[in-house]
Amino acid sequence: MSTQPVPTIILFHYHYSPYAHKITWYLQLRGIPYKQCIQPPMMPRPDLAELGIKYRRIPLLSIGNEMFCDTSLIVRVLEEKFPKGRLGENGDAWEEWEAWSDQVFPYAAALIPSNLPLMKDEKFVKDREDYSGRSYRKEDVDAGRERAFERVRGFYGHTEKVLSDDRDWILGDKMTLADVEAIWPLEWLTTLPGALDSTVTADTYPKTFSWVKRFTALFPASKSVKIPTITGAEAKDLILHHEQASTSSTSDTGVPDNDPSGVALGEEVEVTPVDTGKNHPQRGRVRALVKDRIIIEVTPTEACAGGGSLKVVFPRKGFEIKSVNTKGNARL
Ligand SMILES: N[C@@H](CCC(=O)N[C@@H](CS)C(=O)NCC(=O)O)C(=O)O
């Protein structure tokens, strides 16, 4: 029996996305080889559009010809595909931390100082309003800051309490997936000049700041980490490449009769996140609906020689699936 080659893994991200940090850290901690395709920090993202991807959030991760959306799914898929030495091996306590940091993020993002050059860029402001559905105008950001800060102090207080028995890591002596899941928004804030003030420092939350230091020390200096970077055209070619497509790993097809979505196999649908990025639904044909995943087939705008499509996979949690036809009829 021939050994199946490991399909190429490509991370689509930009360097200052804290959600992307969760995945780059995970990949590096696991020693999983991957390539990266760097994306602009705001829309449009032609590399993704070329692949037929309308979903706007970052990061995305492709494995072979499957594109996985949302970090909750990406982490689960990597844990499944690389089970030996997985970081979530000691039960599912990490899932609480995953939900916790999703809660932290909007408050952390509300602390991006309004005087940063990016926040004065009208294009960025509009882009983030489209993404978040909330105002990024200076006066609104400034007005919401203290309330957000109060919550953020509560989040640092929470980790401080958990670490108060002098444990090194969130679940005890060992660094686990819970640390990766919990740390990314807190670490991000410590790197954003002007986001925090003297109420959140290594003096006020010493255990948390030491934990962040301990965690980031696990990684070599970023300059010495050479992640191969590829262009959008190279990524497209790798994803749609015929042999790669045949190493497909999401073997599920089909839709159970009693699926609550009411959509059928092969039907054209739109998949949309329920929280942010709602203005960018992803279209495709239903290939499978399983307990925790939505798998649709997407045909790129101008496929490479030999044609090809890709499977785009979403978690069910946090996403809505709707038939395009039903939507069409509803509009009549
Ligand atoms: N639930 C999503 C959230 C991802 C997310 O919100 N990412 C931010 C970047 S940290 C984003 O997409 N911002 C808007 C953009 O870059 O288009 C996930 O876990 O992947």
Q: Per residue in 231-255, pLDDT tens?
A: 999 999 999 986 665 544 555 679 9
Q: Which of 57, 77, 123, 272 to mutate to test the pocket of ligand 1 (most atoms within 8 A of CB)?
A: 57
pLDDT of residue 91: 81
Average pLDDT, the chain: 92
Indicate whether 303 pLDDT > 70: no
CB 18 near ligand 1, within 6 Å: yes
Confirm if 8 and 244 have CB atoms less than 8 A apart.
Answer: yes
Ligand 1 pocket check for 70: Cβ under 6 Å: yes
Tokens of 198: 């003297």
Of 104-118, 131-145, 180-194, 300-314, the range with the lowest mean pLDDT is: 300-314
d(CA 203, CA 200): 8
Ligand 1 mutation target, pool 131, 187, 280, 317, most atoms within 8 A of CB: 131
Q: Whose CA is nearest to atom 12 of ligand 1?
A: 57
Regarding the beta carbon of 136 and ligand 1, being less than 6 Å apart is answered: no
Q: Verify whether ligand 1 is closer than 6 Å to residue 195 (CB atom).
A: no
Ligand 1 atom nearest 20 alpha carbon: 10
Q: Is 58 in the pocket of ligand 1 (CB under 6 A)?
A: yes
What six digits make up the tokens of 139?
A: 């006066």
Q: Is 68 in the pocket of ligand 1 (CB under 6 A)?
A: no
Distances (CA, A) of 139 to 24, 115, 117: 34, 11, 15
Angle formed at CA 26 by CA 229 and CA 78, multiple of 5 degrees: 90
Residue 297, classed as helix, strand or coil, is strand
* Mean pLDDT calculated for residue range 5-24: 94
pLDDT of residue 157: 98
Domains of the chain: 9-85+226-331 (3.40.30.110), 93-216 (1.20.1050.10)
Query: Which atom in ligand 1 lies closest to the alpha carbon of residue 70?
Result: 20
Mean pLDDT score, 172-179: 97
pLDDT mean over 268-287:
98
Ligand 1 centre distance from Cα of residue 226 (Å): 24
| SS3 assignment for 233-296 | HHHHHHHHCHHHHCCCCCCCCECCCCCCCCCCCCCEEEEEECCCCCCCCEEEEEEEECCCEEEE
Indicate whether 144 pLDDT > 70. Answer: yes
Q: End-to-end distance of the chain based on CA atoms, in angstroms?
A: 56
Confidence of residue 191 (pLDDT cuts 50, 70, 90): very high
pLDDT: is 282 or 225 the higher one?
A: 282
**How sure is the predictor about 159, in pLDDT bands with cuts at 50, 70 and 90?**
very high
**Ligand 1 atom nearest 58 alpha carbon:** 12
Query: Does residue 70 surpass a pLDDT of 80?
Result: yes
- Tell me which residue has tokens 């410590």: 190
Sorting pLDDT into bands at 50, 70 and 90, what band is 329?
very low
Q: Is 156 in the pocket of ligand 1 (CB under 6 A)?
A: no
CA-nearest residue for atom 20, ligand 1, is 70
The answer on pLDDT for 134 being more than 90 is: yes
Residue with tokens 């995305």: 60
Residue nearest to atom 1 of ligand 1 (CA): 70
